[in-house]
């Protein structure tokens, strides 16, 4: 049965969970896959082989590293997803200004800009590690449906975006603020990133499954606790306005 394009990512997500029996097992496999393809800079592209019907070895495809590294902040494109190491943020030792941070963020880019005061080249985006898996599936499934279906490669390397991408990103930002997840919107200084790289859309199902292993000064449970506290404040504010 053909997959429904409107629910494609959710179907892929559910299929992986079913295959690996539990969400936790699927999450571990997703991390391993992303580590091989994007996180581990020592991995090189290698050729996968298989045995054909005649007993001959043939190249199936090239796998492992899929890194498409970014060398300039303006190479980031709004509406695409990137990852990088970020273990030395500007306020690393100032818990008041930066209570916690993610050493390996996976970011849906919103914008890039040059800070007026410092001159730093910054990228702003949604760290998908900081929002629940089901919310990631919803956001990224809609985003996939915004992609133009005219693909030039099977790896989605040359994907064109519809003109309403800006409005879509504005909508997502609004939803994050209204739901208490505004802390997932983060700003990153380009010069402090280590080996930023693009994540291909056909690996987004893996992005939806993983939990960050590099949260510093917090845990994912504490992050979600902050969400519930924000929700309570928002609900209280709404009641007081009535």
**Distance between CA atoms of residues 215 and 193, nearest Å:** 16
Domain positions in the chain:
5-241
- Residue 179 in tokens: 């739901």
Q: Which two tokens stand for residue 191?
A: 């010069």
Residue spans of beta strands (DSSP E) within the chain? 45-51, 57-64, 81-85, 101-102, 106-114, 121-127, 185-189, 194-198, 215-216
Q: Which pair of structure tokens corresponds to residue 177?
A: 């603020």
* Residue 36 DSSP code: I
Give me the pLDDT at residue 1, please: 38
The values of phi and psi at residue 51, to 5°, are: -95, 125
Q: By the 8 A CB rule, do 60 and 46 touch? A: no
Least Cα distance to 108 among 153, 139, 146 occurs for 139
pLDDT in tens, the chain (242 residues): 345 556 788 899 999 999 999 999 999 999 999 998 998 866 554 444 444 455 444 444 444 567 888 888 989 998 899 999 999 999 999 999 999 999 999 999 999 999 998 999 999 999 999 999 999 999 999 888 776 443 444 444 444 444 567 788 888 999 898 888 888 999 999 999 999 999 999 899 999 999 888 999 999 888 888 777 777 776 777 667 66
Model pTM score: 0.81
Cβ neighbours around 87 below 10 Å, total: 13
Q: Which helix (DSSP H) or strand (DSSP E) does residue 137 occupy?
A: helix 133-146
| Chain-centre distance for alpha carbon 64 | 18
The answer to whether the beta carbons of residues 137 and 8 sit under 8 Å apart is no
Helix (H, G, I), strand (E, B) or coil at 161: strand
Q: From CA 74, how far away is CA 121, in angstroms rounded?
A: 9
């Amino acid at each position: 049965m053909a997959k429904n394009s409107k629910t494609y990512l959710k179907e892929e997500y559910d299929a992986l969970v079913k295959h690996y029996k539990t969400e936790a097992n699927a999450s571990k496999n997703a991390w391993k896959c992303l580590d091989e393809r994007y996180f581990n800079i020592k991995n090189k592209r290698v050729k996968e082989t298989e045995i054909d019907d005649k007993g001959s070895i043939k190249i199936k495809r090239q796998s492992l590293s899929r890194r498409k590294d970014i060398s300039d902040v303006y190479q980031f494109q709004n509406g695409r997803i990137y990852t990088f190491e970020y273990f030395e943020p500007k306020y690393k030792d100032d818990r008041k200004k930066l209570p916690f941070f993610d050493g390996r963020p996976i970011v849906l880019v919103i914008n890039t800009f040059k800070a007026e005061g410092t001159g730093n080249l910054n990228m702003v985006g949604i760290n998908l590690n900081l929002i629940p898996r089901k919310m990631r599936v919803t956001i990224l499934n809609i985003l996939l449906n915004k992609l133009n279906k005219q693909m030039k490669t099977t790896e989605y390397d040359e994907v064109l975006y519809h003109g309403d991408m800006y409005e879509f990103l504005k909508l997502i930002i609004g939803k994050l603020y209204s739901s208490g997840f505004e802390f997932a919107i983060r700003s990153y200084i380009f010069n402090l990133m280590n080996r930023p790289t693009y994540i291909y859309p056909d690996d987004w199902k893996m992005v939806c499954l993983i939990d960050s292993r590099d949260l510093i000064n917090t845990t994912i449970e504490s992050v979600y606790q902050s969400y519930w506290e924000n929700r309570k404040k928002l609900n209280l504010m709404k009641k007081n306005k009535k």
